[in-house]
Amino acid sequence: MSLVEYYDHLAKDGAYERAHNRPDRQAEIGILTERTQLLSRDRRTLELACGTGNWTKSLSVAARSVLAIDLSASALMLATARVNQPNTTFRLSDIFSLSEIDGNFEAIFAAFWWSHIPKERISAFVGSLLEKASVGANIFFIDNTIRDQGNRVFSHTDDFGNTYIDRKIPGGPSFRLLKNYPHETELRRAFSVTNGRFQFIELDHYWLAHFEFFDSPN
């Protein structure tokens, strides 16, 4: 089973919403929602891995326009029904083929995607992101802190240092999920290939990394 098939199951099961609406997380989700809206305000925004639209909803209120992509057809169907805004478009697209998307964006965002990028693909992924970013773009990511992992143990670590957790699919088999917990320095290093300002906010359960893209190196 692929990562997308795994998420397709979760979308049908309502798991995206359960994770987003956990009562003990709402204070942090509130801080991050505000930040997300600030960084996308009046901007042409690209959202990667939008899932069922948990974050698309608040982006669409702030941004000039939103193109939200995901590879799970089930998740996108729910997102489309949920976020019905004239400035927002959903598209079934692969994050690893961003060159197929037309135009440049003034804000690029993803929630809970960075942790699923194989470490050996990060450099190419960031390169493809920068190709889609206008000068001055806000590129920002939200994901889980290692503290949020609690005392659950990784089931496997591969040769690249990617960590995996075994997750049970509701009513189905178990899936070995790639889930990394990058340190701030790793994120900062990923964007050091170009000119810009990197900022990092670490809360209890979540972090937000923001890279303001100044210009290409040459």
Ligand X SMILES: C[S@@+](CC[C@H](N)C(=O)[O-])C[C@H]1O[C@@H](n2cnc3c(N)ncnc32)[C@H](O)[C@@H]1O
For residues 47 and 65, is the Cβ–Cβ distance under 8 A? no
Q: Which amino acid is at 136?
A: G
The residue (of 6 and 213) whose beta carbon lies closer to ligand X is: 6
Question: Considering the complex, what minimum distance in angstroms separates the CB of residue 142 from ligand X?
Answer: 8
The residue (of 49 and 139) whose beta carbon lies closer to ligand X is: 49
Residue with tokens 């889609």: 132
The residue (of 76 and 196) whose beta carbon lies closer to ligand X is: 76
Question: Considering the complex, what minimum distance in angstroms separates the CB of residue 41 from ligand X?
Answer: 19
Residue nearest to ligand X (CB): 51
For residues 52 and 11, is the Cβ–Cβ distance under 8 A? yes
H helix or E strand, kind and range, residue 111? strand 105-111
The residue (of 179 and 196) whose beta carbon lies closer to ligand X is: 179
Query: Contact residues for ligand X (CB under 6 A)?
Result: 3-4, 7, 16, 20, 49-51, 54-55, 69-72, 75, 94-96, 111-113
Side-chain half-sphere exposure of 137, counting CA atoms within 13 A: 21
Question: Considering the complex, what minimum distance in angstroms separates the CB of residue 135 from ligand X?
Answer: 25
Question: Considering the complex, what minimum distance in angstroms separates the CB of residue 50 from ligand X?
Answer: 6
Angle at 112 between CA 74 and CA 106, to 5 degrees: 95
